[in-house]
Amino acid sequence: MNIIENLQYAVIGKFSYGWPEIEELRIQIPRQRNVKGECKIGLLRNRHILMRFNTHDDFINMMSKPNYYIQSKDGYSYMKRPLIYDATFNIEKETMQAMGWISFSDLKPTYFVKESIFLLASAVGKPLQLDMATINKTRPSCARVKVQVDLLADFPKFIEMEVVNEKTKSSRMEKTHIQYDMVPKYCKQCKLQGHAESDSRVLHP
């Protein structure tokens, strides 16, 4: 349904304290965030807007930082947090879907190809993008990839690969550890991204 409704690259923008008029947001957000393709923006609920992009790159770019400040013509800057759109959207509960960076610090340069790294990263979530050092192979000590994850899922600490020798047909197992560099926390008490349940200000019963 997301594809039918052009929501596969949709992002929710959540404003913290006030926001400009929707017509101004339709001008300023694409301009200030350097949007290359089409961007449809509409008021969703309360202090939330829905941004529909038609390119994967614009979607990734909008989700690349935990928050942005939108400069308005009234001279104020309004903070906006980007959240991945979820069909279960609720103004009282933030989505458990988020983007994060993970690294394979002991992966051999032999496997520094997009297909191999994406296959490994799929054990954590949906692979989206390699960082430039991995693409250009200028950091052979570590492969880094951006993934879309469920923040309440159990994240594996390592992956085991079966490596087959094409000549002898023999195989061996190699273990690759996963480092979680930038993955947001999710509080089940507050239903918000950004902090763990142990740091919640909501009083537990």
User: Of 53, 84, 115, at which residue does a domain stop?
Assistant: 84
Report whether 152 contacts 188 (CB < 8 A).
yes
Backbone phi, psi, residue 36, to 5°:
-90, -35
Q: Indicate the SS3 state at residue 10.
A: strand
Query: Within 10 Å of residue 160's Cβ, how many Cβ atoms?
Result: 10
pLDDT score of 28: 95
Residues 6+ apart with CB under 8 A from 129: 60, 145, 146
Residues 30 and 57 in one domain: yes
Residue 68 lies inside a defined structural domain of this protein: yes
110 and 178 fall within a common domain: yes
* Domain-located, residue 90: no
Q: Please give the pLDDT value at position 74.
A: 86
Asked if the structure places residue 197 within a domain, the reply is: no
Last residue of a domain, one of 84, 118, 150: 84
Q: State residue 114's pLDDT score.
A: 94
Asked if residue 181 and residue 155 are part of one domain, the reply reads yes
Domain encompassing residue 171: 97-187
Residue 192 lies in a domain: no
Whether 18 and 46 share a structural domain = yes
Query: Cα torsion at 202, 149, 100, 68 (round to 10°)?
Result: -60
113 plus 59 within the same structural domain: no
- How many structural domains are present in the chain? 2
- Is 171 found in the same domain as 111? yes
pLDDT at 82 (0 to 100): 94
Collect the ranges in the chain with pLDDT lower than 70. Answer: 1-5, 199-205
CA distances from 19 to 49, 66, 108, 128 (A): 10, 17, 48, 30
Q: Is there a single domain that holds both residue 105 and residue 77?
A: no
Q: What's the pLDDT at 37? A: 95
Q: What is the pLDDT of residues 38-57, one digit of tens each?
A: 999 999 888 899 999 999 99
Read off the amino acid at residue 16: S
Strand 77-84 and strand 97-104: the pairing is unpaired
Among 58, 84, 110, residue at a domain's last position: 84
Q: What per-residue confidence (pLDDT) applies to 4?
A: 47
Which residues are 158's β-sheet partners? Answer: 177
pLDDT digits (tens, 9 = 90+) for 58-73: 999 999 888 999 999 8
For residue 120, give both structure tokens. 């490994």
Tokens representing residue 55 in the block = 């390119």
In the prediction, which pLDDT does 185 show? 86
Q: Is 14 part of a structural domain of the chain?
A: yes
